[in-house]
Amino acid sequence: MQCFPLAHILAVLVLFLSGCVTNPETGRSQLMLVSPGEEASMGLASFTQIKQQEKISTDTVANARVTRVGKRIQQSVGREIPNAQWEFVVFDSPTVNAFALPGGKVGVYTGLLKLAATDDELAIVMGHEIAHVTSRHGAERTSQNYAIAGIGALAAFGMEAKQVDPAKRNMILAAYGIGSQVGFALPYSRLHESEADSIGLRFAAGAGYDPRAGATFWRKMAAQGGQKPPALLSTHPSDADRIRNLEQLAPRYMALYEQSKARYQ
């Protein structure tokens, strides 16, 4: 019988004992095995690659709009994120999307600018994306993937040491892979989206943008149609749940919006 590798046991133990932090936005406990410096470096590398692969818009109006809204949300965050070098870039593409990466790198596609008719709606989207960064959702997902892989490796070595039949071993590991995604990774992904919706509304309101635009914009997104996976298999909440949540959250931030709006008039 094979000896169970001590190094693998220690690696998995370290994985679980070394990385709990508190989400600075919500107070929720997070597994975090990626340092802020590593996270910012990955964000910068990804953004550099995207700028090389995607067409950058030269539309001065679109660029001025995104920068104006982005800088106000940057101020609304209320604290500097680690290793931030803020940059707001418009990409010339019909894709209805935007993103933010660690290090303060934000991209918005012209397709989204057409759908987000007002700065209020644009601020909702950019606030949401920046909220993912301030909450370190990307690093948390990476850390969770490390943990899932570590447990899977530990199980595989354990079954190999016990000489479990290879076919049965593969079946168990496949079931573990599916179960860890459906029962753990995907629910956390939906939680991240809901957190970013709430935090993003606060950022937008604090920048003087109307939080009621959240539900308005997502009704437009829902009307875009397209086939979507069942809720259990989705990385995002359903459109109906998202709109309902945004409608319920907006009144919470109206006083902040009214107070902040006066600074920009």
Asked if 137 and 102 touch (Cβ cutoff 8 Å), the reply is no
Between CA 26 and CA 217 the distance in angstroms is 24
Dist. CA 198–CA 188, nearest whole Å: 15
- 212, two tokens: 């009621």
Amino acid letter, residue 13 = L
**pLDDT value, residue 256:** 96
Query: Which domain range does residue 47 map to?
Result: 6-264
4 has a pLDDT exceeding 50: no
Q: Is residue 209 part of a domain?
A: yes
The pLDDT value recorded for residue 173 is 61
In a domain, 154, yes or no: yes
173 within domain boundaries: yes
Please report where in the chains the tokens 């079946």 appear, as a residue. 171
Residue that wins the pLDDT comparison between 170 and 35: 35
Task: Tell me how many domains the chain contains.
Answer: 1
What digits encode the pLDDT tens for the residues 200-224? 999 999 999 999 999 999 999 999 8
Q: What percentage of the chain reaches a pLDDT higher than 90?
A: 50
Question: Tens digit of pLDDT for each residue in 158-217?
Answer: 777 777 767 776 776 666 666 656 565 666 678 889 999 999 999 999 999 999 999 999
What does the alpha-carbon distance between residue 145 and residue 150 come to, in Å, rounded to a whole number? 8
Distances (CA, A) of 227 to 91, 96, 114: 25, 15, 22
Burial state string for 32-64 with b = 16 or more CB within 10 A and e = fewer than 16:
bbbeeeebbebbbebbeebeeeeeebeeeebbe
Per the domain annotation, does 252 fall within a domain? Answer: yes
pLDDT in tens, 235-253: 677 889 999 999 999 999 9
Active site positions, annotated: 129
Residues 197/128, Cβ–Cβ less than 8 Å: yes
Using DSSP's 3-state secondary structure scheme, residue 200 falls into helix
Considering the domain boundaries, does residue 162 fall inside one?
yes
Q: Is the pTM above the cut of 0.75?
A: yes
Tokens 């749940």 correspond to: 241
Two structure tokens written together for 58: 């030269």
Containing H/E element for 98?
Answer: strand 98-101
Asked if the structure places residue 192 within a domain, the reply is yes
Q: Is the pLDDT of residue 11 over 90?
A: no
Share of the chain above pLDDT 70, in %: 78
Beta bridge partners of 100: 106
Q: What are phi and psi of 31, to 5 degrees?
A: -80, 120
Q: Kindly state whether residue 195 falls inside one of the protein's structural domains.
A: yes
Tell me whether residue 1 is in a domain.
no
Listed range (9-13, 73-77, 110-114, 135-139) with the worst mean pLDDT? 9-13
